[in-house]
Amino acid sequence: MDSVRELFPGLAANLPLKRKLEKPVTAEPPEVSHAYIIEGAQGSGRHTLARSIAASLICENRRSAASPLPCGKCLACRKLFGGLSPDLSIISPEGDKAGVGVDQIRDLRRDIHIYPSELDYKFYIVENADKMTVQAQNAFLLTLEEPPAYGVMFLLCENSGSLLETVRSRAQTLRLEPLRYEENRDTVLRIFPGAAMKQRQDPTLFEAALLASGGSPGRAVQLLSSEEGVKISERREEIRKIIALCQDRRRSAEVMCELVSYCNGQRDTAQALLSDFSNALRDLILLKKSEDCELLFFTDRAQAAEQSDAFPIKRIIALSDAVNNAREAIDRSMNVRLTLMNMLADAKII
């Protein structure tokens, strides 16, 4: 940032968003909105941003220009980030429900009119706000229209367009951007204690988790910590093998064996494989046109360029079209094995 003071040190990148919030957050008194819609993908930092804004308002070092804001070290910051402040409420969907229910919103409405216990503010973080029913959103409107001066609400969502226009018009929308590969990698190494060891022990898995996260460090950490990340790593290795085989028409039988064996007739497995395969082919096509393009599948640009050079452009495009047609066919519940055979035939691999 151009400013000397560091704002929201826990939130990676998103510098335009930090600049946008710097003046209202640092003003005396603060000039923040009573409600924010925080939009971003899973793991993009929505909770971090909400807590950072809240902590900035009550940080004991907020008037010290030499301190980051929030400092994260004072008692008020530690209690808020640690979820120990009685003036911070997290409203999550109950049971197996997708969104917060109307009764929970009614409880929020009653609670917000009780004065804060320790702080000058009361903060509410509503998760999956875009999954709230219309009834719950309408109940929320009464609080959004006439909030108490000390109340600040954060509505976390992936798609703010799913919220009622009447809700969106009464809150300020903040959009979190996906991080670039390098930013995502550095953030994961900073926030996840076991990340460096995983990077050394299984660099393929580490790379796969970063790419599959879509630029969301929280999602990358989740993948590194779950079986899903291992499956993604294995799938990427399979695609690299298939691309190498596709370069030689004489190995078409091996290509078919690899595809059929890996997918094993499973529709979800085939769709996941074809989705990554499509991204890989997209990278190879773009590398034919520009070396500076942003890659979705490959992280080793030299390796990707070598793969691209080994393929005639018409052949890559034909294969890419066939892959996308196969994805649509499988969506229509077509036979997986027959669809994969037709895909290779359409691409003139067999």
Nearest to 141 by CA among 164, 167, 106, 112: 167
- Same fold across 15-175 and 226-346: no
Q: What pTM value is reported for the model? A: 0.77
Q: What are the extents of the domains in the chain? A: 15-175, 226-346
d(CA 35, CA 154): 6
d(CA 189, CA 203): 13
Fold designation for 226-346: Zinc Finger, Delta Prime; domain 3 (1.20.272)
CB 226 within 8 A of CB 212: no
- Work out the burial of residue 317: count CB atoms within 10 Å of its CB; fewer than 13 is exposed, 13-18 middle, 19 or more buried: middle
Q: In the chain, what is the straight-line distance between the N-terminal and C-terminal CA atoms, in Å?
A: 55
Q: What phi and psi values does residue 114 have, to the nearest 5 degrees? A: -95, 130
Helix (H) or strand (E) holding 103: helix 102-112
- Largest interatomic CA distance in the chain: 76
Q: Please identify, in words, the CATH class of the domain defined by 15-175.
A: alpha beta
pLDDT tens across the length of the chain (350 residues): 445 689 999 999 999 999 999 999 999 999 999 999 999 998 999 999 999 999 999 999 999 989 999 999 999 999 999 999 999 999 999 988 888 999 999 999 999 999 999 999 999 999 999 999 999 999 999 899 989 999 999 999 999 999 999 999 999 999 999 998 899 999 999 989 889 998 998 888 898 888 888 889 999 999 898 888 888 888 888 888 888 888 777 777 888 888 888 888 888 889 888 988 898 899 899 988 877 777 778 877 888 888 888 888 888 888 899 999 998 888 887 788 888 888 888 877 65
d(CA 35, CA 321): 45
At 204, list the tokens: 């393929």
CB 72 within 8 A of CB 81: yes
The residues, any chain, with a CB within 8 Å of residue 19's CB and separated by 6 or more, are: 1, 2, 3
- Per-residue pLDDT tens digits for 141-172: 989 998 999 999 999 999 999 999 999 999 99
Nearest to 44 by CA among 89, 13, 22, 9: 13
- Work out the burial of residue 47: count CB atoms within 10 Å of its CB; fewer than 13 is exposed, 13-18 middle, 19 or more buried: middle
Positive/negative CA dihedral, 21, 22, 25, 29: negative
